[in-house]
Amino acid sequence: MRFNRKKSSVMPKIFLFGACALALGIFGAFSLKSSADKAAVGEPAVVVEEALPAINMPVSSSEKNLVVRGKTYTPDELRETPENKKKFFEVDKQAHDLIVGIGRELYMKIFWEEVAKKENTTVDKAMQNYVEKNVKVTQSDIDKIMEQIKDQPSFKGMSEKDKLEQVKNYLKSQGTRSLFEEILARAEKNKELIFPQAPEEPRYSIKLTSEDHLRYGPDAKDTNPVQCKGNDCPIVVIEYSEFQCPFCQKALDPIKQVLGDPSLKGKIVWTMRHYPLPFHPDATPAAIAATCAGEQNQFWGMYYKLFQDTKNLKPETFNTYAKELALDEGKFKACLSSDKAKATVTAQTNEAQAYDVNGTPAFFINGRKLSGALPHSEFMKVITEELRFVGAKASEDKPKL
């Protein structure tokens, strides 16, 4: 769990995510200093001696299809190949997400305006009053979070007063987010907010193998099957992750929530495969350490320990964790330098790229790809859809009497 070290405002002034987040994610911005600016700060001016080559832009036409050397390709034909289906889906999904984000933002804008009109006050004040009335931070909630963060390195040296303020602000922010989600969910249920149908999502043919380390619950020891086993489980989740990635660490809590959900007991299996990013130098050694711990049936124990401090992924740290997990130290150290462990990590990395993974964390839920540190609600949305799909398919496959 991570908090902003700066004092955050308790009340978010505007409910913007989705549209703005997507726009910021797609469009970057950059600036160049002028020669005069560089001279003013003692930097050498850059003189461009050659003109940049002209770029031939496509000629616009009224043609609705693609024509290559006289052969016509319709948009539907271009979408038919498996490779193009995935590419078109990503574009269609971005467009759909943008529409959803704009719709959510617009609904909340109208909602707060109506509340403000009813209370005869400003929109900001109406929002503040509504949140204060409906979001309560209990002492039990505070105590629970304080217990969770007591050993986290980022909070060492911080006074109890500052920790308490951070925790309260965090809980207030989480409560506010949940409240807004409830408002939007109610709007969808009452048909006050109706989104266009989402694009059809391609499924990847990805299965568990004998080399995967499986778990059936949130704890590192939950490795024994519960009512279902491996690929036979209704929900199979394959996670591609790495131990130096802050977003992967952020995903731990939502993952635990999913695996700890009583409604999913006996219905879900989860594995993690390695995808160390090239700009994280400690990610590959950490992946090898987890793989070697897995040789002694302690993959998930090492998984949690490595995520405790993603900035301290060093050989001496791996050895400390190995002792804490009661591993055979000789076997563990021999494995760390073996070609076998390295080959496992390399093979999983190559495999991830074949499944179009280009960042971490990435998740495949019954072959449906999700990316990023998703909240619990996003996981559950897809899982609920999959349970319905699996149930419907089972009904169709059931022999008729």
Q: What are the C-alpha distances in Å from 65 to residues 68, 69, 70, 87?
A: 10, 13, 11, 18
Boundary-marking domain end, from 156, 189, 222: 189
Residue at 60 is within a domain: no
Examine the domain organization and report whether 372 and 324 are in the same domain: yes
Confidence at residue 25, expressed as pLDDT on a 0 to 100 scale: 40
Whether 257 and 123 map to the same domain: the answer is no
- β partners of residue 228: 226
Percent of the chain residues past pLDDT 90, beyond the cut: 69
Residues 235 and 332 in one domain: yes
pLDDT at 372 over 60: yes
Average pLDDT over residues 74-86: 85
**195, part of any domain:** no
Q: What is the pLDDT of residues 110-140, one digit of tens each?
A: 999 999 999 999 999 999 999 999 999 999 9
Establish how many alpha carbons lie within 13 A of residue 250's alpha carbon, considering only the half-sphere containing its beta carbon: 14
* 170/116 same-domain check: yes
Q: Final residue of a domain: which of 145, 174, 189?
A: 189
Indicate whether 218 belongs to any domain: yes
Assign residue 367 the CATH number of its domain. Answer: 3.40.30.10
Q: What is the CA radius of gyration of the chain?
A: 26
Angstrom distance (rounded) from CA 363 to CA 266: 20
Bridge-partner residues for 241, per DSSP?
A: 274
User: What per-residue confidence (pLDDT) applies to 292?
Assistant: 97
* Same domain for 96 and 144: yes
Q: Single out the residue of 234, 252, 222 nearest to residue 361, CA to CA.
A: 252
Asked which of 136-140, 236-240, 269-273 is least confident by mean pLDDT, the reply is 136-140
Query: Does any domain span residue 201?
Result: no
Residue 239: is its pLDDT beyond 80? yes
Read off the pLDDT band of 392 (50, 70, 90): low
More confident residue, 32 or 86: 86
Q: Is the dihedral of CA 213, 217, 220, 225 positive or negative?
A: negative
Answer yes or no: is pLDDT of 15 > 60. no
Q: Are residues 165 and 250 in the same domain?
A: no
Confidence category of residue 355, pLDDT binned at 50, 70, 90: very high
In our burial notation (b when 16+ CB lie closer than 10 A, e otherwise), range 6-25 reads eeeeeebeebeebbeebeee
127 within a domain of the structure (yes/no): yes
Query: How far is CA 257 from each of CA 156, 217, 223, 262, 297, rounded to the nearest angstrom?
Result: 26, 9, 17, 10, 23
- Of 40-49, 241-250, 328-337, give the lowest mean pLDDT range: 40-49
Q: Residue 60's pLDDT is what? A: 59
The pLDDT of residue 180 is 95
Question: How many Cα atoms are found within 13 Å in the side-chain-facing hemisphere of 237?
Answer: 26
Indicate the SS3 state at residue 31.
coil
Other Cβ atoms within 10 Å of 380 Cβ, number: 17
The residues that bridge with 37 in the sheet, in sequence order, are: none
User: Rounded CA gap, 271 and 258, in Å?
Assistant: 13
Instruction: Quote the pLDDT of residue 209.
Output: 95
Query: Percentages helix, strand, coil for the chain, rounded to the nearest 5?
Result: 50, 10, 40
- Residue among 213, 254, 296 nearest 382 (CA): 254
Asked whether residue 98 is domain-assigned, the answer is yes
pLDDT band at 155 (very low <50, low <70, confident <90, very high): confident
Do both 247 and 370 map to the same domain?
A: yes
Residues 319 and 174 in one domain: no
Residue 399 has pLDDT above 80, yes or no: no
- Is the pLDDT reported for residue 89 higher than 90? no
Examine the domain organization and report whether 90 and 218 are in the same domain: no
pLDDT at 282 over 70: yes
Residues 261 and 153 in one domain: no
Residue 57 within a domain: no
Q: How confident is the model at residue 39 (pLDDT cuts 50, 70, 90)?
A: very low
Domain residue limits at 175: 84-189
The pLDDT assigned to 1 comes to: 47
Nearest to 238 by CA among 73, 355, 379, 364: 364
Higher per-residue confidence, 84 vs 180: 180
Let me know whether 184 and 293 are in one domain.
no
**Whether the predicted pLDDT of 9 surpasses 60:** no
Rounded average pLDDT over 235-248: 96
Give pLDDT, residue 128: 95
Number of domains observed in the structure of the chain:
2
Predicted local confidence at residue 158, as pLDDT: 87
| DSSP line for 193-249 | S-PPPPPPPP-------TTS-EESSSSTT--S-BSB-GGGSSEEEEEEE-TT-HHHH
pLDDT digits (tens, 9 = 90+) for 317-333: 999 999 999 999 999 99
- In single-letter form, the type of residue at position 256 comes to K
Mean pLDDT of the chain: 85
pLDDT the model gives residue 49: 42
How large is the average pLDDT for residues 47-64? 58
Residue 272 Cα distances to 56, 348, 363, angstroms: 46, 10, 9
Residue 148: band (very low, low, confident or very high) from pLDDT cuts 50, 70, 90: confident
Whether residue 162 sits in one domain with residue 234: no
Whether 35 has a pLDDT exceeding 80, the answer reads: no
118 or 62: whose pLDDT is higher?
Answer: 118
Provide the pairing of β-strand 71-73 with 214-215: unpaired
10 found inside a domain: no
Whether residue 279 is predicted with pLDDT greater than 80 in this model: the reply is yes
298 alpha-carbon distance from chain centroid: 25
